[in-house]
Chain A
Amino acid sequence: MADTATATAVDHHDDHGHSESFWSKYIFSTDHKIIGFQYLFTGMAMGLIGGFFSYVFRMHLAFPGSEVPFFGIVSPAAYNSLVTNHGTIMIFWVAMPVLIAALGNFLIPLMIGCDDMVFPRINRLSYQIFLISAIVLIASFFVPQGGFGGAWTAYPPLSSEAEYNGTPFGAPMWLIAVTLEIVAFLLGGINFITTVMNARAKGMKLYDIPMVVWMIVIASILFMASVGPLVAGAVMLLFDQTLGTGFFDPAAGGDPVLWQHLFWFFGHPEVYVVLLPAMGVVIEIICTFARKKLFGYKMILYSSVGLGILSFFVWAHHQFISGVDPRATYLFTTTTLLISIPVALMLFAMIGTLWGGSIRFTTAMLFALSFIAEFLIGGVTGIWLGSSGTDIYLHDTYFVLAHFHYTFVPIAIIGTFSALYYWFPKMFGRKLNEFWGKIHFWGTIIPFNGIFLPLFILGAAGQHRRIAGYTAYPDLYTENFQDLRVFATGSLIVLILFQIPFFVNFIVSLKRGQKAGPNPWNANTLEWVAPSPPPHGNFGDDLPQVYRGPYEFSVEGREEDYWPQNEPDPGPSETSK
């Protein structure tokens, strides 16, 4: 393994020498695949923490005042900290590392046919900063007065003054952790964009790039363009917390609403930063398992670029009722409803890809199909909230919560699982067990709807988010509503239990799974040319050459229903298009 890697002798391989120790191979590696795994496993571990938090506060909501097994009594301070850090972890330490960093690192060099990222050491630095950020966040739960509890949006003055939030150490640590995490992803993003633009295999034109790679690149550009204001705001907020400045303090001439603008200017594009890679994953999988060419490659690509641009002009829909000039909502409600068009276009193109296909229901495909169906629910429920008129009522209710979980769970959970079932053979050389995969699939999808459909009803009935105790509200503490809360909590526990087969399957399949050849799914893209698992350097001495687009399935006149990108044309009569 190490020999073939050093044979390709690019400068960064010199770090390793011939005999790699455990440390240099797995901990301080510059190999993009190992860094991808580091992100993947860190993200999954953080996902367990975030999932545990949701279990604790859902139990508290279903059975207020009673002791939660494995946790104890949930105090209001603990409740706020749990919901705050659940949101923060799931977005910054699960969705982003798994979807962008893990998949981007693992897939980009393999799919564009090169031996590694163009900046392998920056890549390693990116993960190391990310790891530190995760440690800082976890440490913040254990400092005196506990972790930050001012919601993941961290609106000042609550977040800026310990007198109000009660967490003099937790709040700054939370902010430092988030800022470090952002720095890590800036480094990663630079790497992704540069690699894709400069290191593609010979013959791979822009329209031959697999869609998931495009999506990660567009997401990285969106992230880099939107995150600047947030970093500036985070530093200002940190100064407000620790040095007593007054950027967001009205008594000192500051403006707390400024933070909301800076936060959401990043926060809304951020949704698309994680959405696009998940869409890319789903596109790869439905093309492979429907044995179909992607319907409207350019249409999807241009839609996602348009979506990205439009996403910079919708941020204030999070602030309709926050005291901004009410006339501004005319603009933002318009852009928000318009953004439904490119998203719908992409979903329709996915369904168009299925049309006329020959669909194989592997576990990866089931997850990919359920992404389309579930994300559609998340997408359409956004219309009620994007309309400023109904948002007056629905803002900050459980309707919002259910809506964005119907977008983020398909993205971060369903998208990730479909990617894992699909690329596991490439990552580890063996397939995940399909039988247990399907049990895991149904055990995830059914309870997922069981959690959040009742919450739409609670939200429509006027129940607000982040309320630790409904017992104080006679209109909300009724038997019917409590039944819905118990049902949602029960569904969550079922969902968590059904993750056990997945983890067992994952570990057992690493050693005993069915051996996969280089191309177990008969797919076209370049990662399936490399051996499974690919060695350091990926393709050995001969980097692949590209002759056609990534989705040439079921081409008429060919015996096989797939046509790998690197296979030369048989004769001069056929063109690569």
Chain B
Amino acid sequence: MLEYFLPRASSFAGSIDHLFDLITYLVMFWFLLTMAFFFYVVFRFRAKAGQKAQYVTGEKHKEKMAVEIPHYLILVCDLVILIYTFKVWHEVKIDMPEFDEEVRVISQQWAWTFEHAGADGILDTDDDIVTINELVLKKDTQYKYELQALDVMHSFSIPVFRLKQDSIPGRNIYGHFKPILEGEWDIQCAEMCGYGHGFMPARVKILPADEYDAWIAANTPADAANTAYANNDESELKEASNNG
């Protein structure tokens, strides 16, 4: 159902959407059944002149079973959801596939810095390409990302990827994604991070291989000034984002 709102731009977006649909079907079945039963009961047992209510304790075995049996069935539904949930969670958050490209995502009040590994595919080298509020990715490539926060907690959220991960100052958090669709979409911060929380928009741009290579070629720094970023110097980064 979610693809009605947003395309699936990562390899695991489909899994999350299918889990969403599975839960929707199971929950909606029980929800509609319960609601229908509820309104039926309220309508059928409205007060009528000269009719007295029944005396039912709900303590008899038969009466208890009438309430308990649906709950065994709900429990089965819970288990089905759980198993599929475990599978999806493992795929997105635990499994770390072999990666072809690396990107470092640095969050701060109130901007995103993206360090692309550049032509050599290795971070912290002279050919890294640093961008502010724009993440450029190559389609159909398995990425590993490294997420950092410089000041407070932020959350790296790309809705079209169905991906979200909080960043924590003092920690490097790793994850992965594989863009499968060309286009350009929003990146949002999903954790309250101060005055500018609503105003740190970034965009993710997914390019086909040839355009991506052209972008790399056009943006690879020629001078050594950018090596400062490679050393991950905080003050320089802040300055860079302020200028950006």
| B157 interface contact, C-beta 8 A | yes
B228 within 8 A of A: no
B16 touches A389 (CB 8 A): yes
Contact A352 B27 (CB under 8 A): no
Query: How far does the alpha carbon of A372 sit from the alpha carbon of B38 in the complex, in Å?
Result: 9
Q: Considering only CB atoms, which chain A residue lies closest to B192 in the complex?
A: A151
The A-contacting residues of B in range 38-69, CB under 8 angstroms, are 38, 41-42, 45-48, 51-59, 63-64, 66-68
In the assembled complex, how far is the CB of residue B242 from the closest CB belonging to chain A, in whole angstroms?
A: 16
Interface 1/0 per residue, A528-570 and B, CB below 8 Å? 0000000000000000000000000111100001000000000
Query: When the two chains form their complex, are residues B152 and A472 in contact, meaning their CB atoms are under 8 A apart?
Result: no
In the complex, B107 has a CB within 8 A of chain A: no
Assess the A390–B195 pair: CB atoms within 8 A.
no
Among B115-123, B196-204, B215-223, the stretch that binds chain A is B196-204
Q: Tell me which of B1, B15, B35, B67 contacts A352 (CB under 8 A).
A: B67
In chain A, what residue has the closest Cβ to B186? A475
Q: Is A344 a contact partner of B71 (Cβ separation < 8 A)?
A: yes
Q: Is the CB of B153 within 8 A of A155?
A: yes
A330 adjacent to B86 (CB under 8 Å):
yes
How many residues on chain B are close to A (CB under 8 Å)?
87
Q: Evaluate contact between A256 and B153: CB separation under 8 angstroms.
A: yes
Interface flag for A124 (CB, 8 Å): no
CB-defined contacts of B97 to chain A, threshold 8 Å: none
Bound form: Cα–Cα A151–B185 in Å: 27
Minimal beta-carbon separation of A420 from chain B (angstroms): 22
* A341-B53 contact in complex given A380-B27, A395-B164, C-beta closer than 8 Å: no
A299-346 at interface with B (beta carbon < 8 Å): 299, 321-323, 326-327, 329-330, 333-334, 337-338, 340-341, 344-345
Q: Is A440 an interface residue (CB 8 A)?
A: no
B31 near A468 (CB under 8 angstroms)? no
Q: Tell whether, in the assembled complex, residue A326 and residue B93 are in contact, meaning their CB atoms are under 8 Å apart.
A: yes
Complex contact A475–B194 (CB within 8 A)? no
Assuming the contacts A349-B58, A356-B53, A389-B16, asked whether A361 and B46 have C-beta atoms less than 8 A apart, the reply is yes
Cα of A391 to Cα of B66 in the assembled complex, Å: 33
In the complex, the answer to whether B55 meets A296 with C-beta atoms within 8 Å is: no
Q: How far is the CA of A468 from the CA of B186 in the complex (A)?
A: 16
Asked if B240 is at the interface (CB within 8 A of a chain A CB), the reply is: no
B99 at the A interface (CB under 8 A): no
Q: Bound state CA distance, A381 and B26, in angstroms?
A: 12
A1 at the interface (CB under 8 A from B): no
CA of A548 to CA of B2, assembled, Å: 54
Asked if A76 and B198 make an inter-chain contact with CB atoms under 8 angstroms apart, the answer reads: yes
Within 8 A of A (CB), among B59-118: 59, 63-64, 66-68, 70-71, 74-75, 78, 81-82, 84-89, 92-94, 109
- Residue-wise, chain B 4-45 has the 8 Å CB interface mask toward A (1 for contact) of 011000000001100110011001001100110110011001
* A-B contact list, 7 entries, CB within 8 Å: A80-B192, A296-B57, A352-B56, A354-B41, A389-B88, A393-B159, A461-B5
Top 5 A-B residue pairs of the complex, sorted by shortest distance between their CB atoms? A250-B170, A462-B159, A389-B88, A295-B58, A296-B58
A interface residue numbers (CB < 8 A to B): 76-77, 79-80, 149-151, 153, 155-158, 164-166, 250-251, 256-257, 290-299, 321-323, 326-327, 329-330, 333-334, 337-338, 340-341, 344-345, 347-349, 351-361, 369, 372-373, 376-377, 380-381, 383-384, 387-390, 392-393, 395-397, 460-462, 464-470, 472-476, 553-556, 561
Q: Knowing that A76-B199, A166-B194 are A-B contacts, what are 9 other residue pairs whose CB atoms are under 8 Å apart, sorted by A's residue number?
A: A251-B170, A256-B170, A295-B57, A330-B89, A338-B78, A341-B75, A354-B41, A392-B162, A553-B55
Contact surface of B with A, Cβ cutoff 8 Å: 1-2, 5-6, 15-16, 19-20, 23-24, 27, 30-31, 34-35, 37-38, 41-42, 45-48, 51-59, 63-64, 66-68, 70-71, 74-75, 78, 81-82, 84-89, 92-94, 109, 151-153, 155, 157, 159-160, 162-171, 173, 185-186, 188-199, 201
